[in-house]
Amino acid sequence: MAWMDNYISASDFDSIRLCVASAEDILSWSYGEVLKPETINYRTQKPERDGLFCERIFGPVKDINPHDSKLKGVRSREAAVDKEGNLVTKSIARRERMGHIKLAAPVAHIWFMRGTPSALSLLLDLTVKSIEKVVYFASYLIISADDAKIEQVKGDLIAQHDAAIQAIKIRYSEAAKAEGANAETLANEEAKELEALDADFYSRKNILEGLKKGAVISEIDYRNLPEEYEELVTVKMGAQAIRELLEEIDLDAMIEDLSAQAEEAKGQKERKLIKRIK
C-alpha cells in the first residue's frame, strides 16, 4: 500500500522543518475539491457527495470489491481513483488522500501575521496591530495614492491658508481704524479667528501627509475625510488588501533600498532596517 511505502520511522531523519504549503503543492496532493460543508447524510448514513467526507475524494468508507457490478458504468464515476485512474478499493486510503477547498477570498495565515518576527510586519513596515486591524476589517489599507495630485492639493491648501490670513489681517486692520473701535477686543477676536484657521489648516495638512501608499487609516477617519480627499487614494480592507500590496513589492529593489538606508542609519533605526532585510 502507498501509505506503507511512504512510512517514515522516527529514526529516519535528524530534524524536521515546518512550512506552509503553496497553493500549487496543495493542488498536486489533492484528489478533488470539497464543495459542500455537509459530512454524513442523516438518512443513508453515508458521506455526502462533494462534502467533507466524500468517498469520491477521500476513498471508500469500507473496503469494496472492484468486481462489484455497482461500480460499473455510470456508478463508477462516484468511486475514488488514484492519480493513474485505478479504482481505490481499501478504506485505509482515507488516511492519506487529501482534498482541497477553494477560498472565496484570500486569508492571512497566522504564522505570517503574528509570528515572531512577523513576516508581514517586516515586509510592509507596519505594526502587527495595524495589520490585524486591516485583516479583521477594522481599518483600511491604502493600496494606491495619487502623489502628484496630493502635492497639488497641499500646495493649494497652503496658498488658500496664506490668503485667508492676509484677508483676516486686512479686515481687522480696517476695523481698527473705524471710529470708536476697541483695539483690544478686535485683537482678541483676530487671534481667535487666526487660531481656528491654523487648527483647520494643520488638520487638513496632516491628513494629506498621511495619505501614503501602504498607510493604515481607521474606518472612522476614512469616513471623516473631506469628500475631495477620498478620490486621492484607493483603500481596501481584509487579507485581499494585504495581498495586493505584497504583489506590488519588488523584493530586490526593496533590499537594495533598505541596505542603503542601513549604511547611513545608527542605533535602533539601523537594527530595525537590518531586521527587515533579513
Cα within 13 Å of Cα(255), Cβ side = 5
Q: Which band of pLDDT confidence, cut at 50, 70 and 90, is reported for residue 1?
A: very low
Sheet holding 216-218, edge to edge: 216-218, 139-145, 233-236
Residue 230 has pLDDT above 90, yes or no: no
What confidence score (pLDDT) does residue 13 get? 77
pTM: 0.72
Rounded Cα distance between 65 and 62, Å, is 10
Rounded Cα distance between 149 and 103, Å, is 37
What confidence score (pLDDT) does residue 12 get? 75
- List the beta strands (DSSP E) in 12-160: 30-33, 98-100, 139-145
Instruction: Give the mean model confidence (pLDDT) for residues 15-41.
Output: 90
Residue 238, sorted as left (phi over 0), alpha (psi -120 to 50) or beta, turns out to be left
Residue 18 has pLDDT above 90, yes or no: no
